[in-house]
Structure 1
């Protein structure tokens, strides 16, 4: 059977502690996220939180025919299980996938479980807010959000297509507000072409997917340039093409094995207030751990139809600052950094980790290999390469090969014993970063932050000078091959 979310869930059930279902009733309005915050959100979510199982809520208040899944990839180790790969080298896996793409294929409607049920927005009783169990993360949210919907769009001539993930709020019975970050998504480039012709842009929003799709969809330039359809990454990860199907009401393709497909059109040159129904001033919690400010002018999507699976379709959701965002945004960025630095300085960066403390975007830890004295300084060039390509990156920590980049104690041990602040800090001022970081407001530092989203970048170089490496050897404990026998 082809890979989809249900196949992944069946596999997770075979791993102890990775999946849990509950039949206890849950309100999707803030309660669902509030409960999962304690059970398994992790990331930059307000403490207390932890790494825990993915959770299926089978009894969602107001939605008797639907289920909600959260946290499927809110654990790097679980992502490794899902992709059948060592979690420590997932960046290498995705780098290989993006460079050996497998193109999607189109299937007929009778092969598309996502279209087993079709509901047209032209029906007078249609109301997306009563159909889709989209949760709110907090009581201050602008409304119910689609947080893990993969948007499929194409250029007006249909020669290029792309998939992206955006925050999307249910505004009215047939209206979605979609935030497209300026300059950050290929979808925005296609939309500008449609708007130049004053034509609506047909899209599908695909919900409830194999995580290989949602992770692959978050690749960005320069790794995946305009016209590179990231569904090819998922195809490579699964060694089978992602299946697509023609929409029932729009001239666009949907992902055939989704749980849900929303068919719609982005209206040209039209915008609306994101929190028009609540006026709280907030959108939803975002990956840095703070509430995102409601945008005064999000794009407007008019829904034409909703299709879904027959058997209790699953709404897949996430908490904005959770470990799930780290998996979606961080692992592809790791792959992109590895791809870039290996072309420029091959063999010098052994591994990369975009840690949860940076939400998967703001921080990376780079494991450096030095062959001889001539490599001294190459580690800082690697950091500069990462900054040049990924403007959302704010902090780079450089460590040696003997440091476990996935162990914060080991990383901070490096900063405490292989680092002197007066010589091993690099600060780069006046650069671009992510506007969701609240320290990047002009009032925070009027002299250096002229407009929102400017930042200083930081490099902490914890690598040992090559000619002093003998002074920094770790205590040489005896290597034991039978140590596990003493736990029996």
Structure 2
């Protein structure tokens, strides 16, 4: 495949991998740009995409723009693509959906799963080229460094797949992977992640945990992999959701060097083992004290002791493309947020069908911290149920920090409209519900005793509901001015 992308795939239903996704995007004006200008993977590549299309919460100036293919990366022959999912509209296009329908379509895929299938190695594009040690990951694959303070180069779109050493149940998750040597990666697990649970079990037995790391994938696979409990409990295979999105099973292939399976249509697969009882300081190469930009928009702290993965083989397609993501930004918002929206919809609609009309995990919260819920009150008995929906959202996604409730006449995707509701339908003393002392996501820098005396320990937060809905008894008083419907094509052909 040439590095420049020709638009030969014209329908989202024909997407089967990253390449066909890029071909599809190339057929739509404004969704993919390519550059042959040489770019340095150390900080420069991320600096360019910050201005092109990274989006909030990357520090301004930034914007939502096209995906970008860097065809000439200094020191490497492999191109790098970023921003494939860095637009909600583009994500919807890639899934044959709409901006509003995305969480509903993910929920439908959850309810109509397709179990993955294992195909022969001869049919797996990811094994067209097989490399055994000795090799040096750092010279073969252009893993970017996002800022000059990063702990090192990172693979941050690596989908790790592993199996429970006791039950054989599988899981897939994206974790940040820092290159620590020719064949070594450190891996950071937020506490509670399922593959970390597998690692802990293997380590207790004195065993390494075999893993595959697949990079450059069908966007449906990446989105499905970002579902979290309680929607997908321990032992749930998120690849079944990806199959549901595409209405066909995801194809796997047996690894060549470890007892694990990889995504057969990946661009690149790293095969390896998480080593038992071996740890490394994340910034051991640079001593900066930082890891990389995290999804809240700040540089994350380097972890003092992380598990190590030793890579046993590299397999890839002919002329592979590395896929990456800017740490914070709209791509993380969509990867984390859209599955969360589906999870919230599921739990709320299970308890009060038809009341929750929509959910948006806002960019300002990185797709994790802030959700806007659109709730419809149809009777006096519905008053208060909107707050129950917010509490259910916190139960559905424990890392959620703030919920804003709005009525059905408010566009939850329009921040101006949401702030209008907060201005005209909200009184701080009666419309705010505080839930202090609740465990939240560890990367929020404000949840510290230094910030508030109400916080007993790091990673504990005061979760808050902002009820910007009109009391049912007052709905007539808050009816928005209605305008005449017109055919705009008469005036703006």
TM-score by length of 1: 0.97
CA contact (8 A) 2:126 2:317 kept: yes
1:6 to 19, 33, 48: 19
**Aligned residue for 1:457?**
463
Q: Residue 93 in 1 paired to residue 100 in 2?
A: no
Q: Which residue in 2 is equivalent to 1:39?
A: 52
Which moved further from structure 2: 33-42 or 155-164? 155-164
Aligned positions of 1:100-111 closer than 5 A: 100-111=112-123
> 1:12 & 1:286 partners in 2: Cα distance?
27
CA distance in 2, matches of 1:472, 1:427: 26
* Aligned position for 1:273: 281
User: Are 2:140 and 1:131 equivalent residues in the alignment?
Assistant: yes
Equivalent in the alignment of 2:484: 478
Equivalent in the alignment of 1:52: 65
Q: Runs of 4 or more off by more than 4 Å in structure 1?
A: none
In 1, the alpha carbon distance for the partners of 2:445 and 2:164 equals 34
Find 1:330's aligned residue among 337, 346, 350: 337
Q: In structure 2, how many angstroms separate the alpha carbons of the residues matched to 1:89 and 1:360?
A: 17
Secondary structure at 2:100's aligned position in 1? Answer: helix
8 Å contact 2:386–2:405 — kept in the other structure?
A: yes
- 1:380 maps to 2:393: no
Q: Within 5 Å, give how 1:376-455 maps onto structure 2.
A: 376-445=383-452, 447-455=453-461
Q: Tell me, what secondary structure is at the counterpart of 1:442?
A: coil
Corresponding residue of 1:75 = 87
User: C-alpha distance in 2, partners of 1:104/1:354?
Assistant: 29
Superimposed CA distance per residue, residues 403-453 of structure 1 (whole angstroms, 9 cap, x where no aligned partner): 1000001101101111111110111110111111100122112x3222210
CA shift, 1:390, in A, is 1.5
Aligned partners of 1:89 and 1:351 also within 8 Å: no
Number of aligned residue pairs: give it: 480
Distance in 1, Cα, partners of 2:429 & 2:194: 42
Q: Distance in 2 between matches of 1:103 and 1:156?
A: 20
TM-score, normalised relative to structure 2: 0.96
Shift of 1:157: 4.1
- Does residue 285 of structure 2 align to residue 288 of structure 1? no
Question: Secondary structure of 2:416's partner?
Answer: helix
For 1:329 and 1:485, the matched residues in 2 are separated by: 41
Indicate the residue corresponding to 2:362 in structure 1.
Answer: 355
Aligned residues of 2:15 and 2:21 also touching (Cα < 8 A): no
Where does structure 1 lack aligned partners over 5 or more consecutive residues? none
Match of residue 300, structure 1, among 287, 292, 308: 308
RMSD: 1.0
Secondary structure of the residue that 1:42 maps to in structure 2? Answer: coil
Deviation at 1:388, TM superposition (A): 2.2
- Residues 291 and 303 in structure 2, CA contact (< 8 A), matched pair in contact too: yes
Spell out the pairing of 1:254-265 with structure 2 (5 A cutoff): 254-265=262-273
Q: 1:115 aligns with which of 122, 127, 142?
A: 127
